[in-house]
Amino acid sequence: MATPEPTPVYGELTRVYTRLYRYFHLSSIVGWDRNAMMPPKGNEARAAAEGELSALIHRTRTDPQLKGWLDAAAREPLDDVARANLREIGRDWRDANALPESLVEAKTLAGARCEHAWRSQRHANDWKGFLGNFREVVKLARQEAQLLADDTGLSRYDALMDRFEPGVRAAEIDRIFGDVKTWLPDLINRAQAKQAVEKVIVPSGPFPVAAQRALNVEVMTLLGFDFAGGRLDESTHPFSGGVPEDVRLTTRYSEDDFARSLLGTIHETGHARYEQNLPRAWLGQPVGTARSYGVHESQSLSFEMQLARSRAFAGVLAPLLGRHFGDQPAFDPDNLYRLWTRVRRGLIRVDADEVTYPAHVILRYEIERALVEGAIEPDDIPALWDEKMQSLLGLDTQGNYKDGCLQDVHWPEGAFGYFPSYTLGAMYAAQWFATIGRETPDLDARIAQGDLKPVFDWMGSNIWSQASLWPTPELVQRASGEALNPNHFRRHLEKRYLTPAD
Amino acid sequence: MATPEPTPVYGELTRVYTRLYRYFHLSSIVGWDRNAMMPPKGNEARAAAEGELSALIHRTRTDPQLKGWLDAAAREPLDDVARANLREIGRDWRDANALPESLVEAKTLAGARCEHAWRSQRHANDWKGFLGNFREVVKLARQEAQLLADDTGLSRYDALMDRFEPGVRAAEIDRIFGDVKTWLPDLINRAQAKQAVEKVIVPSGPFPVAAQRALNVEVMTLLGFDFAGGRLDESTHPFSGGVPEDVRLTTRYSEDDFARSLLGTIHETGHARYEQNLPRAWLGQPVGTARSYGVHESQSLSFEMQLARSRAFAGVLAPLLGRHFGDQPAFDPDNLYRLWTRVRRGLIRVDADEVTYPAHVILRYEIERALVEGAIEPDDIPALWDEKMQSLLGLDTQGNYKDGCLQDVHWPEGAFGYFPSYTLGAMYAAQWFATIGRETPDLDARIAQGDLKPVFDWMGSNIWSQASLWPTPELVQRASGEALNPNHFRRHLEKRYLTPAD
């Protein structure tokens, strides 16, 4: 009896995922178009077309034969990249198949209803009205978390978070955020005390849109964005979209304030360079995609926080500002640096600086984790919010739901488990720059000369080219020689915000 | 025994076509993006994604169960619109299923190879080299025509033409073009003799791109383009794309010459208004699509030739030109009118004016019909081309393949049966305006005041709202009270080109 050839099932799987990659390409481009180009009357037909494509993608990801292929492929001889790709395909398959369609639909519907009502309830400070819809969202999110937990063997919250940060667990987050809570409030106090005596000159506009755009393009080019493989356009809510082969950034211009668009564009350029430098040979397969939301955010925050808001880079930007807008005293590099590193305790997360931002995230993490795990109920949120805002930032939010627990879109939509990624991103970024600084002791001097090669080379070798080859914790270990260590972030903040200027 | 309910098979068919409509939406938007937005490095991934979508569309149109549904639906009780929709679905089904996939692939491949080589062969005037590839294209096009003929009971050429002009036959084209040939050469002579003594001032540039764009937008708005349901952008080869709910026009700017972009934009606006005013209730089904290539061209030529190049409309445009570019003597309405109605015998179809254009089309029609029917072979084309150019336009093209039979992309690509639509479009447009003029005797005076309502109202009632409810000949009869009558086109040319100015 002849021995059968080993079935090349892995190849079959990769063909399905190549097809999915192409469907996602279509989805990304029409999604970008909807946000950046589409006139209003196109909306209904576009929603129908995108819905049809989503249904097609869902059918493809839940094709019953995939399960058998996954099991069979695991028994085939595969090299390391293929093995990692199979692991990522398995993750995607679980994501797509863990939940019954009825729950996905119910959750989408409840989230859409809650989010839609929230838009006006937030403005009306209407917590009671919001609760009516939100209880259903929480109920369904708990069911979702339980099913994902059953499927993965993780705890409920870990199972939700694993979709955003593969391999990162709440126990790790507790360790890290617990550490931050011991030093952050004091650091904020000291930074504010130091800045209280600093003089800052605010740039004086107007800054014409055409000049802002030209400045953004010049800075993106300096930061290595490849315009032969991407674009910069405008949209109401700036985002980074498109596909790795064609990355589409957007920004928004206000003639009063160029910095918001410039720093936002630099932030998005960080996301863009990650996408533009994913390994070409792996594109089309899950192993070739960016690692996680937190690692992606580490790129945007490396570019915006570590690089663009540094004293060294202020010296690079200053002459560009003068050239595009005409010289003015506010464009002095020391002033720009002071201006772009102001620390202010505020109620709103999206307006927060890098020092106070972690407080906003820790508060949300603690509340949403307890909520998902059933330790608290939606009714308990405002009191917890007030208590934590008081203890972390010393701010009173009692009765102010609008600028408190009603401020974010995540919870109304039922997106739990995402918030930690923001602060993980900031910490990864600090850890990357600590590592680059060890390898390139004159890093600041080189950045001051506009030489960003050490940063790009390091990111290319350690992050961009690695795509999804490793789970996040292993990527961190390989890139920086240690597990995620919040001391790097702390030292970054202390150096930038507590050290007296030269 | 209970009588079974009649199967709602027609409903099943419409659901498949709704799905196809959404797939075509995706295809249109990413196609527009490729031409108007995509950076060069996006090309390869985009081609793969578009290819995947084409394959999906093909699978959907050739789903084996459709044939049975078509037959069963024909026996169901349907209203007139549903009946027309079923006829159009049947046409689409035949188009998609008449040809074996092997022939479609062979023809696509041969056309792509021939077209690719043609790009350089044309410049090199290399007819012999071209023939090598072109013989295969003709061979496959004849097979295609024969299969379509077997399927429809039409002659070979009629079967090809029916895909572009449903219901229009070569016998009808012979009657019409035969008539044109009796009077066109003389009309060209007389028009040129009249214009020989006219003085024309050429506008003097440069015309800044921003001002041209603002002018185009203003004129499009005047012509009723709805910017809430469409856009104007730039591309190397101007086109009208997008979907009826979101129409995307493109143009190309040259600072030397504003008229090319302006008149081209007006032309595309004619296409756009047809799409923007198709009946909303029918969108998503074949009955709701524009009737044919010729009827579509009748809209662009109504806007460009009948309207924009008229003496009445020159008076509307003149002050706009002055406002956007500054006044100059060339912007005098009489001068603009003379400038935009110059008749010149030329070798190149796409540069031809509306008087000589039909000669270019008739020549191609006669040659391609004989070629498809096997009456001539590819080798015979140059001699026939020379003979017909001499007899129709009095021009010598011997040995000049580049500006002769090698000038168009249609034949290298294997697209036979399309050329008549250009001149049918011009004739329909003249017939529409003759009808509007009968119903609105002061039409010219109203156009001169910028009041285009009589034109828009008539087009809306008679063309746009009718979509694909009727085959083309019936649409023409209903709209204008008679079959296509080339006398309207002749009278239009005689009035514009032979009547002494007031």
CB contact under 8 A, B39 and A283: no
Question: A231 vs A243, A278, B383, B422, CA distance in Å?
Answer: 11, 17, 50, 37
CB contact under 8 A, B228 and A39: yes
The angle subtended at Cα A93 by Cα A90 and Cα A98, nearest 5°, is: 120
Q: Which DSSP helix (H) or strand (E) runs through B349?
A: none
Residue in A25, A39, A244 closest to B229 by CB: A39
Closest B-chain CA to A247 = B42
Q: Give B25's contacts in chain A (Cβ within 8 Å).
A: 45-46, 48-49
Judged by a CB distance cut-off of 8 A, whether residue A230 touches chain B is yes
CB contact under 8 A, B39 and A243: no
Judged by a CB distance cut-off of 8 A, whether residue B245 touches chain A is yes
User: Which residues lie closer than 8 Å to A375 by C-beta, 6 or more apart?
Assistant: none
**Residue range A334-360, pLDDT digits in tens:** 999 999 999 999 999 999 999 999 999
Distance, in Å, from the CA atom of A440 to the CA atom of A308, rounded to the nearest integer, reads 18
CB contact under 8 A, B45 and A283: yes
Quote the tokens at residue B393.
Answer: 């336009």
Tell me: pLDDT of B73 over 50: yes
Question: What is the count of structural domains for chain A?
Answer: 1
Q: Give A45's contacts in chain B (Cβ within 8 Å).
A: 25, 243-246, 283
Q: What is the pLDDT of residue B502?
A: 52
Domain membership of residue A44 as a residue range: 1-97
Residue A218 bears catalytic tag: no
Q: Could you give the residue ranges of the DSSP H alpha helices within B326-469? A: 333-339, 357-373, 381-393, 410-413, 420-439, 443-448, 453-462
B235 assigned to some structural domain: no
**Residue range B163-198, pLDDT digits in tens:** 999 999 999 999 999 999 999 999 999 999 999 999
Distance, in Å, from the CA atom of B288 to the CA atom of B285, rounded to the nearest integer, reads 5
Neighbours of A396 (CB within 10 A): 12
Estimate to the nearest angstrom the gap between the alpha carbon of A199 and the chain centroid: 33
Distance, in Å, from the CA atom of A185 to the CA atom of A493, rounded to the nearest integer, reads 12
CB contact under 8 A, B29 and A29: yes
Query: For the purposes of burial, counting CB atoms within 10 Å of the CB of A473, is it exposed (0-12), middle (13-18) or buried (19 or more)?
Result: middle
Query: For the purposes of burial, counting CB atoms within 10 Å of the CB of B126, is it exposed (0-12), middle (13-18) or buried (19 or more)?
Result: middle
Distance, in Å, from the CA atom of B418 to the CA atom of A64, rounded to the nearest integer, reads 46
Question: B194 vs A52, B306, B351, B353, B487, CA distance in Å?
Answer: 59, 20, 21, 16, 21
User: Which residues lie closer than 8 Å to A205 by C-beta, 6 or more apart?
Assistant: A255, A256, A257, A258
B52 assigned to some structural domain: yes
Tell me: pLDDT of B496 over 80: yes
Tell me: pLDDT of B334 over 90: yes
Question: A27 vs A43, B130, B179, B246, CA distance in Å?
Answer: 15, 40, 52, 17
Q: Give A234's contacts in chain B (Cβ within 8 Å).
A: none
Distance, in Å, from the CA atom of B428 to the CA atom of B178, rounded to the nearest integer, reads 17
Residue in A52, A242, A243 closest to B22 by CB: A52
CB contact under 8 A, B228 and A23: no
Judged by a CB distance cut-off of 8 A, whether residue A52 touches chain B is yes
Give bridge partners of residue B145 from the DSSP assignment: none
Q: Smallest CA–CA separation between A165 and chain B, in Å?
A: 27
Question: B467 vs A353, B20, B285, B300, B470, CA distance in Å?
Answer: 57, 18, 11, 16, 8
Going A310 to A311 to A313 to A317, the CA torsion angle's sign is positive
Scan for tokens 């662009």, then name that residue.
B300
DSSP string, A271-340: HHHHHHTS-GGGTTSGGGS---HHHHHHHHHIIIIIIITSHHHHHHHHHHHHHHH---GGGSHHHHHHHT
A54 assigned to some structural domain: yes
Distance, in Å, from the CA atom of B60 to the CA atom of A219, rounded to the nearest integer, reads 47
Judged by a CB distance cut-off of 8 A, whether residue B320 touches chain A is no
The pair phi, psi for residue A198, each rounded to 5°, is -85, 140
Chain B interface test: which of A23, A37, A209 (most B C-beta within 10 Å): A37
A39 assigned to some structural domain: yes
CB contact under 8 A, A39 and B243: no
Q: What is the pLDDT of residue A298?
A: 98
User: Which residues lie closer than 8 Å to A325 by C-beta, 6 or more apart?
Assistant: A203, A207, A211, A215, A258, A331
**pTM to 2 decimals?**
0.92
Quote the tokens at residue A315.
Answer: 């010296």
Q: Give B44's contacts in chain A (Cβ within 8 Å).
A: 245
Scan for tokens 């070979």, then name that residue.
B156
Q: What is the pLDDT of residue B236?
A: 86
Residue A303's nearest CA partner among A276, A281, A335 is: A276
The answer to whether residues A248 and A231 touch, using CB atoms and an 8 Å cutoff, is: yes
Judged by a CB distance cut-off of 8 A, whether residue A25 touches chain B is yes
User: Which residues lie closer than 8 Å to B37 by C-beta, 6 or more apart?
Assistant: A37, A231, B233
Distance, in Å, from the CA atom of B501 to the CA atom of B474, rounded to the nearest integer, reads 37
User: Which residues lie closer than 8 Å to B281 by C-beta, 6 or more apart?
Assistant: B288
Catalytic residue IDs of B: 268
Neighbours of A461 (CB within 10 A): 11
Tell me: pLDDT of B432 over 50: yes
Helices A9-36 and B43-61 meet at what angle, rounded to 10? 100
Q: Give A33's contacts in chain B (Cβ within 8 Å).
A: 29, 33
Chain A interface test: which of B245, B247, B289 (most A C-beta within 10 Å): B245
Q: What is the pLDDT of residue B501?
A: 66
Distance, in Å, from the CA atom of B488 to the CA atom of A402, rounded to the nearest integer, reads 68
Quote the tokens at residue A213.
Answer: 């755009």
**Residue range B348-386, pLDDT digits in tens:** 999 999 999 999 999 999 999 999 999 999 999 999 999
User: Which residues lie closer than 8 Å to B399 by C-beta, 6 or more apart?
Assistant: B125
B180 assigned to some structural domain: no
Question: A17 vs A8, A24, A60, A62, B255, CA distance in Å?
Answer: 15, 10, 9, 12, 47
Distance, in Å, from the CA atom of A461 to the CA atom of A446, rounded to the nearest integer, reads 19
Q: Smallest CA–CA separation between A38 and chain B, in Å?
A: 7
- Which ranges of chain A have pLDDT less than 50? 1-6
Residue B23's nearest CA partner among A26, A283, A489, A476 is: A26
Q: Smallest CA–CA separation between B253 and chain A, in Å?
A: 20
Q: Which of A268, A297, A354, A366 is catalytic?
A: A268
Q: What is the pLDDT of residue B500?
A: 81
**Residue range B118-142, pLDDT digits in tens:** 999 999 999 999 999 999 999 999 9
**Residue range B283-294, pLDDT digits in tens:** 999 999 999 999
Between positions 282 and 311 of A, the ones with CB within 8 A of B are: 283
Distance, in Å, from the CA atom of B394 to the CA atom of B388, rounded to the nearest integer, reads 9
Q: Indicate the pLDDT class of residue B101, thresholds 50, 70 and 90.
A: confident
B74 assigned to some structural domain: yes
**Residue range B14-29, pLDDT digits in tens:** 999 999 999 999 999 9
User: Which residues lie closer than 8 Å to A289 by C-beta, 6 or more apart?
Assistant: A88, A278, A467, A468
Tell me the three state secondary structure of residue A400.
coil
Neighbours of B8 (CB within 10 A): 12
CB contact under 8 A, B231 and A39: yes
CB contact under 8 A, B41 and A283: no
Give the count of alpha carbons within 13 A of B394, CB side only. Answer: 8
Portion of chain B with pLDDT greater than 90, in percent: 93
Instruction: Identify the weakest region by mean pLDDT among A266-270, B4-8, B89-93, B434-438.
Output: B4-8
Size of interface A-B (CB pairs under 8 A): 101
Which amino acid, B339? L
DSSP state of A407: S
B210 assigned to some structural domain: no
Residue B276's nearest CA partner among B421, B463, B123 is: B463
A85 assigned to some structural domain: yes
ipTM at complex level: 0.91
Quote the tokens at residue A247.
Answer: 């990355």
Distance, in Å, from the CA atom of B194 to the CA atom of B97, rounded to the nearest integer, reads 53
CB contact under 8 A, A49 and B246: no
Judged by a CB distance cut-off of 8 A, whether residue A55 touches chain B is no
The pair phi, psi for residue A119, each rounded to 5°, is -55, -40
Which amino acid, B115? E
Judged by a CB distance cut-off of 8 A, whether residue B209 touches chain A is no
Closest B-chain CA to A53 = B23
CB contact under 8 A, B245 and A41: yes
CB contact under 8 A, B246 and A42: yes
Which amino acid, B17? Y
Which long-range CB contacts under 8 A does B95-102 form with residues at least 24 apart? B95/B163, B96/B58, B96/B61, B96/B62, B97/B61, B97/B62, B97/B67, B98/B147, B98/B148, B98/B151, B99/B144, B99/B147, B99/B148, B100/B147
The answer to whether residues A433 and A491 touch, using CB atoms and an 8 Å cutoff, is: no
Going B486 to B186 to B423 to B260, the CA torsion angle's sign is negative
**Residue range A429-451, pLDDT digits in tens:** 999 999 999 999 999 999 999 99
User: Which residues lie closer than 8 Å to A102 by C-beta, 6 or more apart?
Assistant: none
The pair phi, psi for residue A471, each rounded to 5°, is -60, 155
CA dihedral in degrees (A256, A262, A267, A273; nearest 10)? 150
Q: What is the pLDDT of residue A1?
A: 44
User: Which residues lie closer than 8 Å to A239 by C-beta, 6 or more apart?
Assistant: A35, A249, A250, A268
Distance, in Å, from the CA atom of A222 to the CA atom of B8, rounded to the nearest integer, reads 62
CB contact under 8 A, B45 and A246: yes
Rounded to the nearest integer, the mean pLDDT of chain B is 95
Neighbours of B219 (CB within 10 A): 22
